Amino acid sequence: MRAKSRHRARAVKPLDSVRRAPHGVLMSRPDSELVILCAPRGAAAPAARIPVRWKPSARARRVSLRVCPAAGEVVLTMPPRAGRRAGLALLREHEGWVRARLDALAPKRAFAPGAEVMLEGEAHVIHHDPAARGGAFLDGRSIVVAGGRDFLGRRVTDFLRAEARRRVLALVGAHAARLGVAPRAVRVKDTRSRWGSCAPDGTLGFSWRLVMAPRWVMDYVAAHEVAHLRELNHSPRFWTLVDALTPHHAAAVAWLRAEGPALLRVG
């Protein structure tokens, strides 16, 4: 289930200095560029500063672009032998759409003392207690984090991943029992393009970030992937199984489309 994208492609060479070109100005990082698209001559609009990541792909047949909410950047997928000029031309063509999508991204939210983190849709506050023991744990509506400040972000992430795994396993187990199926394995990862997945061998995968969504959203994703253990497709039979397992199909899909990108900006 998607979150809401050999011949070797020519490498993107780092630029030693800022230089102007018909399609923009590039300030290079190893695989990324800050592309400054100048407004057309006579236009009053300011130049657009757009972070771009170049993604060579041996399987791509054409240049394509998408906005990555997690990184707050545009990903330009480049087929073999496609040059930088073609990528910049596509970026220029869709500049208005790209600007709008980047401007609409939620602010990046780091894990820090006093910050709020959603757990099953309910706000919890990060409380740093250097003298506490046990990494990170729940205390009412607080996530208490022990140890040094430098380890706080990692410990909150580990705590949320563990909670996601525990809660997803319970939901998967309940839905699998109803269908009389069993996954080969259940994995919880930091996936950025899919909330859940089902491999042909029966391995289910889930994004740990689902633990921040309301429980009924996580329930839908779990039901969706368990249904794939019977129907590894999106046929009418598959959707009948999903709707038999959970009543939250339509509402959860709408929630993920509207709120899901913000989950990718956390941490």
116-263 under CATH 3.30.2010.10, yes or no = yes
Burial class (CB in 10 A: 0-12, 13-18, 19+), 36: middle
The Cα–Cα gap between 187 and 165 comes to 8
Which neighbouring-strand residues pair with 39? none
Token pair 């207690």 in the structure block, residue? 129
Question: What pTM was computed for the model?
Answer: 0.73
DSSP summary character for residue 79: -
Residues 6+ apart with CB under 8 A from 43: none
Give the integer Cα–Cα distance in Å for 255 and 9.
38
User: Which pLDDT score, from 0 to 100, does residue 37 have?
Assistant: 76
Task: Please tell me the distance from the alpha carbon of residue 257 to that of residue 3, in angstroms, as a whole number.
Answer: 8
pLDDT score, position 101: 86
What is the DSSP-derived secondary structure letter of residue 225?
Answer: H
Backbone φ and ψ for 31, nearest 5 degrees, come out as: -120, 10
Which pair of structure tokens corresponds to residue 68?
A: 């990555």
Sequential pLDDT tens for the chain (267 residues): 766 543 333 333 332 333 333 344 333 334 877 888 776 665 556 777 888 989 999 999 999 999 888 788 899 999 988 888 899 899 989 988 888 888 888 788 999 999 999 999 999 999 999 999 889 999 999 999 999 999 999 999 999 999 999 999 999 999 999 999 999 999 999 988 899 999 999 999 999 999 999 999 999 999 999 999 999 999 999 999 999 999 999 999 999 999 999 999 998
User: Would you state the pLDDT for residue 19?
Assistant: 33
pLDDT score for 49: 83
CA dist 147 and 156 (Å) reads 12
Q: What are the residue ranges spanned by the domains of the chain?
A: 19-103, 116-263
In 5-151, alpha helices (H): 84-93, 95-103
Q: List phi, psi (to 5°) of 74.
A: -95, 135
- Residue 134, pLDDT score: 85
> Is 80 in a helix, a strand, or coil?
coil
Structure tokens at 25: 């100005």
With the CA atoms of 106, 107, 111 and 113 taken in that order, what torsion angle do they form, in degrees rounded to the nearest 10? -120
What does the block give as tokens for 8?
Answer: 């070797």
Helix (H, G, I), strand (E, B) or coil at 145: strand
